[in-house]
Amino acid sequence: MVLTQGTRPEDLERGIRSVLAQRGVSADIVCVGNGWQPEGLPVGVKTLGLPTNLGIPAGRNRGVSQVTGDYLFFLDDDASIPDPSFLETAVATCMADPGIGLLQPRVVDPSGLPSPRRWIPRIRKGKATRSSNVFSVWEGAVLLPRAVFDATGGWAEPFFYAHEGIELAWRVWDQGKRVWYAGDLEANHPVIQPTRHAYYHRLNARNRVWLARRNLPVVLLPFYVASWTGIQVLRWARDPDALKAWFGGWREGWSEEPGERRPLRWRTIWRMTLAGRAPLV
């Protein structure tokens, strides 16, 4: 499934054609237009036009019902997969290890620019080519079994933008599965600063609070929010405008309802802790 607002037609076509070029799998592709009716796409690609921009998580969720298959692959409109064996290998990886409930590939800028460290969803980043269990994902190219996705409840629609990949990863872990960063598989995406969005700081903070309120046992909620509040104060201390916007979103996170609450089970938290990262930071 490819999500787009129709503002990057060349990138969109590149991404779709990279999926159409996949070998060894049968791909049922839908392009979801968030506030746009997709047109001029390659033959065989379904389209779903949403009348308004519902946000990234909701747009992805709307596309799921439009496709068939045992595995779901989500691709942003400015991402692509250069290896025509990518999907076949990714599915084979999951089938060989049924404990994997979600897979994110290594992300590389196709023009050769250095990849941001944030694309490696680990605290201890290490080499980008090293595979490991992870507890969040870069959402631009992820694959998971449909049954696992359905059990998680899907992407967090109220978030609109930011941190939906953390919640999905946590809920995959809560299914008794693991989230896998596949450093041996590659997706392409240009280096773009997330701060280009005017709402970046506000939604980043609001959704961090909502993430905790929706998913953590009550006793852990204040520890998680406090740790991230401290991190952001240190990170943006020299940018008062950014910090002001961040705390505006932080207040929204407490004053507005975040939607469905499904706290992680304590055995999930213990598994995550043993695997390297408790949901406290």
What does pTM read for this prediction? Answer: 0.96
What's the pLDDT score for residue 236? Answer: 87
Domain ranges of the chain: 2-192, 195-262+270-275
How many Å from the N-terminal Cα to the C-terminal Cα in the chain? 31
Closest CA to 153 of 214, 77, 94: 214
Tokens coding 201? 């700081």
Q: Which fold, 2-192? A: Spore Coat Polysaccharide Biosynthesis Protein SpsA; Chain A (3.90.550)
Average pLDDT, stretch 179-208?
90
> Percentage of residues in the chain with pLDDT exceeding 90?
94
From CA 56, how far away is CA 162, in angstroms rounded?
Answer: 9
pLDDT digits (tens, 9 = 90+) for 219-267: 999 999 999 999 999 988 899 999 999 999 999 999 999 999 999 999 9
Closest CA to 209 of 184, 182, 228, 181: 228
User: Does residue 78 register a pLDDT over 70?
Assistant: yes
Partner residues linked to 178 by β-bridges: 100
What's the pLDDT score for residue 278? Answer: 93
SS (H, E, C) the chain: CEEECCCCHHHHHHHHHHHHCCCCCCCCCEEEEECCCCCCCCCCCEEEEECCCCCHHHHHHHHHCCCCCCEEEEEECCCECCCCCHHHHHHHHHHHCCCEEEEEEEEECCCCCCCCHHHCCCCCCCCCCCCEEECCCCCCEEEEEHHHHHHHCCCCHHHCCCCHHHHHHHHHHCCCCEEEEEEEEEEECCCCCHHHCCCHHHHHHHHHHHHHHHHCCCCCHHHHHHHHHHHHHHHCCCCHHHHHHHHHHHHHHHHCCCCCCCCCCHHHHHHHHHHCCCCCC
Per-residue buried b or exposed e for 174-208, using 16+ beta carbons within 10 Å of the residue's own CB: bbebbbbbbbebbbbbeeeeeeeeeebbbbbbbbb
What's the pLDDT score for residue 281? Answer: 83
Structure confidence at residue 193 as a pLDDT band (50, 70, 90): confident
Structure confidence at residue 195 as a pLDDT band (50, 70, 90): low
Structure confidence at residue 196 as a pLDDT band (50, 70, 90): low
User: Does residue 197 register a pLDDT over 70?
Assistant: no
What's the pLDDT score for residue 62? Answer: 97
pLDDT digits (tens, 9 = 90+) for 7-19: 999 999 999 999 9
From CA 52, how far away is CA 124, in angstroms rounded?
Answer: 39
Q: What is the mean pLDDT of the chain?
A: 95
